[in-house]
Amino acid sequence: MVNVQNDLKDDPVPSGARADEQLDPKAKKAAHGAFSGFFIDMYDIYLPVVALGPAMVYFLSPTMPASQVVIVTSLIFVSTLLGRPLGALIGGRFADQIGRKKVNLIAVSGYGLMSFAMAAMPGYETWGIAAVIVFIVLRLVDGVFVGGSYSAASPLAMERLPRKKRGVWGAYIMLGFPAAFVAISALTLIMLQIAPADGLGSPYVQWGWRVPFIIGGLMAIAYVWWYAVSVEESEVFKKTGGTKSPLKTLFGSKRSLKAFAQVFVLMSGFWMSLNTVTAMLPGALQNSVGLTSTEVTILLCITFLFLGVGYMVAGKISQHVGRRPFLIFSGLGAAIPGTALYYWLLTSPPSTFLGTVLLAGVMIWVIVWFWGLATTYINERFQTGVRASGFGLGYSLAVIPPSFYAFYQVGLENFMPLELTVLPLLVIGGLLVALGAFLGPETKNVDFATDMDFDPETEGTAVV
């Protein structure tokens, strides 16, 4: 049994590592596959926030009170997030048993079909309240498939990447999020020019919003074909032969439970911070800052392209200074200067659109650039036999408490104006990131090639 903890402490560069640490073509294909799958995943998740936003009247009663509209709209978004932990539980388990590649292909096929089903949905005029209920159920099932996909594709890629390149290439995989957000925003902007949204009978409300969903389904089909013929199963996984009971193994000791709890705290902060700029910021830019819907879309496209640079910078820095100190520092950065920048944007926004874009871009970078480390860090926290289960559940289970942000805002409204309720949530998110990183170990030198022997009673995770 390799004691990875001592290996990290006594030998900063563990023995057995390849001297050149170069990427081979198979590793690159696996990384591109993880990036592409994550892009489609994020595209799918944020469709309701961006593409469906201008057409929400299609699913809602015209007499529904504003407070109920906020809750229903948030449920359409968070239903997918809530399905992800179940998908991670199922997909991660089978990915650790039968292989990462097979599970990913099944999962992506599933949420491609869900995209087509949602694109065909009738609205409130046809089905009444049942329309939004069925749509939420489809989004929930969609989330199950999404959770299964990234629980398989990302561990496969990380297991093929050289240790000294995991930081940068893990950040590259995470670029799927800002790239998808920009793609949806740009596509929505184009569709709004082709099919304007102006009331229930307008072209965008009746059919324009369906186009991004159909494109999402087509991308999933194309991805499944490419991944099936281009990406090979992880060699590290094949050497293990799979784990008979990965969940029992993962939670089989107090030490592994402690590691999982640490990841849960960290990721709770990740998700809470992210929600402040993806789910809450678009509405704030219109209601508090006074931007038009077109200006909001343009701003998001520009700032999330800028954020992609931040991801790569974060991955590069963490490869030199370590994951743990970087996450502690950047979590505190989100909680303090990030919150100050958000307050500035809400209360005294620049008088020009360019100034608003610059302020929002810096703010978004400070608040969520540490997301560039999510795939890398969590995969480094778990051994090969349970990596898919640990990564999938650690990444997605923590999304549940932050998903109810709308309810927290309603409660905080008793103490402050509604538009400022995002600020305490951001402070909490940043502090949880810093705390989660502080409670965990340094992981950048974990060697996946030496962690295959797994004893839950003595080790539990790659590092503790």
pLDDT digit string (tens) for 211-265?
999 999 999 999 999 999 999 998 888 887 777 888 887 887 677 778 889 999 9
Q: How many residues does the chain have?
A: 464
Question: Is the pLDDT at 111 greater than 70, yes or no?
Answer: yes
Q: What is the tens place of the pLDDT at every residue in 250-261?
A: 887 677 778 889
Give every CB contact of residue 116 below 8 A, 6+ residues apart in sequence.
Answer: 213, 214, 217
The reported pLDDT for the residue numbered 451 is 60
Q: What is the tens place of the pLDDT at every residue in 135-193?
A: 999 999 999 999 999 899 999 999 999 888 999 999 999 999 899 988 988 898 899 99
The reported pLDDT for the residue numbered 6 is 38
CATH-assigned architecture of domain 24-233+242-450? Up-down Bundle (1.20)
The reported pLDDT for the residue numbered 263 is 95
Question: Is the pLDDT at 358 greater than 90, yes or no?
Answer: yes
Question: What percentage of the chain has pLDDT greater than the value 70?
Answer: 91
Number of Cβ within 10 Å of residue 190's Cβ equals 14
65-69, 106-110, 175-179: lowest mean pLDDT where? 65-69
3-12, 189-198, 309-318: lowest mean pLDDT where? 3-12
Residue linked to tokens 């969520």:
368
Q: What is the pTM of this model?
A: 0.85
Cα 289 to Cα 283: distance, rounded to the nearest angstrom:
9
- What residue segments make up the domains of the chain, in order of their start? 24-233+242-450
Once rounded to an integer, what is the mean pLDDT over residues 278-290?
A: 88
Question: Is the pLDDT at 118 greater than 70, yes or no?
Answer: yes
Cα 363 to Cα 360: distance, rounded to the nearest angstrom:
5
The reported pLDDT for the residue numbered 21 is 61
Q: Say if CB 308 and CB 178 are below 8 A apart.
A: yes
Which band of pLDDT confidence, cut at 50, 70 and 90, is reported for residue 13? very low
The reported pLDDT for the residue numbered 237 is 87
3-state secondary structure labels for all residues of 143-170 = HHHHHHHHHHHHHHHHHHCCHHHHHHHH
Once rounded to an integer, what is the mean pLDDT over residues 66-72?
A: 76
Once rounded to an integer, what is the mean pLDDT over residues 12-23?
A: 47
Which band of pLDDT confidence, cut at 50, 70 and 90, is reported for residue 11? very low
Residue linked to tokens 């480390």:
373
Q: Say if CB 365 and CB 310 are below 8 A apart.
A: yes
Look at residues 89, 92, 141, 133 and name the one whose alpha carbon lies nearest to residue 115.
141
Which band of pLDDT confidence, cut at 50, 70 and 90, is reported for residue 308? very high
Cα 83 to Cα 90: distance, rounded to the nearest angstrom:
11
The reported pLDDT for the residue numbered 207 is 95
Number of Cβ within 10 Å of residue 408's Cβ equals 18
Residue 413 three-state SS: coil
Question: Is the pLDDT at 452 greater than 80, yes or no?
Answer: no
Cα 432 to Cα 268: distance, rounded to the nearest angstrom:
7
Once rounded to an integer, what is the mean pLDDT over residues 418-434?
A: 95
DSSP 41-70: HHHHHTHHHHTSGGGGGGTS-TT--HHHHH
Element (H, E) at 261: helix 254-278
Percentages (nearest 5) of helix, strand, coil residues in the chain: 80, 0, 20
Look at residues 7, 1, 12 and name the one whose alpha carbon lies nearest to residue 320.
12
Question: Is the pLDDT at 458 greater than 70, yes or no?
Answer: no
Does residue 324 or residue 18 have the better pLDDT?
Answer: 324
The reported pLDDT for the residue numbered 283 is 84
Once rounded to an integer, what is the mean pLDDT over residues 41-46?
A: 86
Number of Cβ within 10 Å of residue 248's Cβ equals 12
Cα 195 to Cα 198: distance, rounded to the nearest angstrom:
9
